[in-house]
Amino acid sequence: MLGKPFTFSLDAVDGRARAGTFHTPHGPILTPVFAPVGTQATVKAVTPRDLTDLGATLILANTYHLYLRPGDELIRDLGGLHKFMHWDGPILTDSGGFQVWSLSSINRIDDDGVTFRSHIDGSSHRLTPERSMGIQQNLGADIIMCFDECADPANYDYLKTALMRTHYWASKCRDVWRNTDEQALFGIVQGGVFEDLRTESCRALTELDFPGYAIGGLSVGESKADMARTLEVIDPLLPANKPRYLMGVGTIQDLVEGVARGVDFFDCVLPTRIARHDAALTNFGQINIINAKHARDDSPLDDACSCYTCQHFSRAYLRHMAKSKEILGATLLSIHNLHMLVQLAQDMRTAIFEHRFEDFASQRLSQLGCKPLKETS
């Protein structure tokens, strides 16, 4: 079914953990992979050169935000997202569905789409599966998402209705997409934390034979145990020869446990968001650099980290940046946090090839104070 630019090879397997390669027109994506989020055609506080230097290979941009500002047609006329934001690697865009439900004032949801008011100026807009696809085609990302309804993961009755609508919209998105060689369309598995709904969603979407599958509706308030259990349900139901993308998940623990349950792609705003609030990810947990104990600390954020920040700057300097509210502080913390997750994905890939993933994962979870992997399943 796939056009030549989009092929996925499963290169190694260790338990449920997978290492693969997804080929795109803008280069291969080696999985597992963490994608920094560039919501408005920019990863906040860092440059495209920084992203390349820290090893990022895939970034995400947001359909809802770019549709509202500066407009998808403007971006199309200026050469598409790659040229507009000067990023030569693969780009993924989401459908805009999650932001419609989480940011805007919704006026009406029906089987054809959603009418909502912009969070920017209150203007009225209509987003349908066809319109979402048109916007994403104008943006020109390599990987695009079906329009879906992200509902309360614990509301079973409403989730049933939302699931039928999501599957109907997925078929309409597929009709618009028409197996183009220029973009790969992923269906989005929904169903909250309910096994029967997730099973039904996997069945309906795999029948549509998408190039890949996203897992939505997780990391939205459910427990870690519920997320892990849901991923375990989904894993054997999705085609082994297609990539799987867990949307909006970005802690060290979540990446490790996600890969252990068959996930290939991850994205999240967390590493750059917490950086702007003076927090850093480390192998032993998250720290707040503004704490007084770091005032005279000449050590890096993490002794095992090889990022630009850790190789050149001390905790004391980073605390000074944070206390002084210098922009450079957010940049340096963002570089470090992104590098931690990008490098973690690469390290997991190596561990899968060397058939030592369970030991690697259990060690990383133990450092964070979490249960070893074999006790989480």
Q: What is the pLDDT of residue 106?
A: 75
Asked if 14 and 358 touch (Cβ cutoff 8 Å), the reply is yes
Residues 340-367 pLDDT 10s: 999 999 999 999 999 999 999 999 999 9
> pTM for the full model?
0.96
CA max distance for the chain: 60
3-state SS class at 153: coil
User: What CA–CA distance (Å, rounded) separates 361 from 74?
Assistant: 44
Q: Is 96 left (phi over 0), alpha (psi -120 to 50) or beta?
A: left
Low-confidence ranges of the chain (pLDDT < 50): 1-3, 375-377
Could you tell me the CA-to-CA distances from 127 to 63, 188, 191, 195 in Å, in that order? 11, 17, 21, 29
Q: What are phi and psi of 16, to 5 degrees?
A: -90, -15
CATH number of the 7-269 domain: 3.20.20.105
SS3 content of the chain, % helix, strand, coil (to 5): 45, 20, 40
Identify which of 60, 89, 95 has the alpha carbon closest to the alpha carbon of residue 249. 60
**Could you give the residue numbers annotated as active site?**
94, 267
Task: Residue 288: count other Cβ atoms within 10 Å of its Cβ.
Answer: 14
Output the CA torsion sign for 176, 25, 353, 219: negative
Neighbours of 83 (CB within 10 A): 12
Residue 74 structure tokens: 């403007």
Cα(165)–Cα(185) distance, integer angstroms: 18
CB 139 within 8 A of CB 76: yes
CA dist list (Å): 139 to 35, 41, 220, 228, 308: 18, 10, 27, 33, 31
Q: What is the CA radius of gyration of the chain?
A: 20
Q: CB-based contacts of 277: which residues, under 8 Å, 6+ apart?
A: none
Count CB atoms within 10 A of the CB of residue 167.
21
Report residue 335 as tokens: 């570089």
Q: In this predicted model, what pLDDT tens digit does every residue of 64-121 receive, in sequence order?
A: 999 999 999 999 999 999 999 999 999 999 998 888 877 767 778 899 999 988 989 9
Q: Which residues pair with 22 in a beta bridge?
A: 8, 29
